[in-house]
Amino acid sequence: MVKSMSSPIAQPPTAGGMSSRMVAVDVYGYLAAAILRNEIPPASRVNINAVAVSLGVSATPVREALARLESDGLVTQLHLKGYRTTELLNQREIRELWQFRMLIEPYSAGNAATLATPAQLEALQHEIDSFASAPVGSDFDSYQDFSAHDARLHALILAASGNDVITRAFERTHCHLHAFRLAYTGSAGRATVDEHAAIVDHIVSRDTAGAGAAMMTHLAHSRDRLLPLAKQG
């Protein structure tokens, strides 16, 4: 069942005066926000027709939005039963996902220190400067902005490392979305901001070993911040 979605990011989308593509994008954003806020709880069936009626759109943009959410790992399609939201990551899944990240991201941070162009270094420094402090409180919008910053920073580092295969593999994990579902009601804390700054400082200084070590430290700490929030598994 679809739980109440009375507190979306934006007003429910309507089809009047909008292209079908724009409606689908709005439905996607609306449903993604409801899932991330746990207004549609984990392991809940999503009724396409009920969502369409609730939002005042046809079933087509809802199906398109759900297909995109499936690629994000937020819903899964059930044979002859439509879609349901995915479970939150459990402790075993967090450990496995972070093991993968620890294999590729310290290496990528070290490569970025060596290979990043001046423009890429400037982009990394700008991203750090744009979030010099942790979010105040634990409201959805503040933490969403911080999570988006976190995802952008890691993506910039991967891009600067010069390995497209690693970048694509990382993108398929959707790790920041999964972490967000677990953690947005808690504070990311000053520690995360300081860890990010340390990584970028080493990259900008062309310190390959330091960048890799700083990234490894950050990942270990971020894993340890998430584990207490997850169920055993």
Flag whether pLDDT at 104 surpasses 80.
yes
Flag whether pLDDT at 18 surpasses 50.
no
Flag whether pLDDT at 7 surpasses 60.
no
pTM of the model: 0.81
Pairing of strands 45-46, 82-85: antiparallel
The pLDDT score that the predictor gives to residue 111 is: 98
The pLDDT score that the predictor gives to residue 24 is: 67
What radius of gyration do the chain's Cα atoms show?
A: 19
Flag whether pLDDT at 12 surpasses 60.
no
CB 202 within 8 A of CB 214: yes
Four-point Cα dihedral 107, 113, 117, 118, nearest 10: 150
Residue 115's pLDDT band, with cuts at 50, 70 and 90, is very high
What is the pLDDT averaged over residues 99-128? 98
Per-residue pLDDT tens digits for 142-154: 777 888 899 999 9
CB 67 within 8 A of CB 23: no
Per-residue pLDDT tens digits for 180-193: 887 755 555 678 89
What is the pLDDT averaged over residues 99-103? 97
Which CA distances in Å does 141 have to 7, 119, 126, 137? 11, 30, 21, 10
Residue 81's pLDDT band, with cuts at 50, 70 and 90, is confident
Closest CA to 110 of 155, 173, 157: 157
The pLDDT score that the predictor gives to residue 3 is: 42
Residue 11's pLDDT band, with cuts at 50, 70 and 90, is very low
Residue 13 φ/ψ, nearest 5 degrees: -70, 150
Could you give all domains of the chain from N- to C-terminal order, each with its CATH number? 20-85 (1.10.10.10), 91-229 (1.20.120.530)
The pLDDT score that the predictor gives to residue 8 is: 35
The pLDDT score that the predictor gives to residue 138 is: 62
Three-state SS letters, the chain: CCCCCCCCCCCCCCCCCCCHHHHHHHHHHHHHHHHHCCCCCCCCEECHHHHHHHHCCCHHHHHHHHHHHHHHCCEEEECCCEEEECCCCCHHHHHHHHHHHHHHHHHHHHHHHHHCCHHHHHHHHHHHHHCCCCCCCCCHHHHHHHHHHHHHHHHHHHHHHCCHHHHHHHHCCCHHHHHHHHHCCCCCHHHHHHHHHHHHHHHHCCCHHHHHHHHHHHHHHHHHHHHHHCCCC
Q: Is 133 exposed, middle or buried (0-12, 13-18, 19+ CB in 10 A)?
A: exposed
The pLDDT score that the predictor gives to residue 22 is: 52
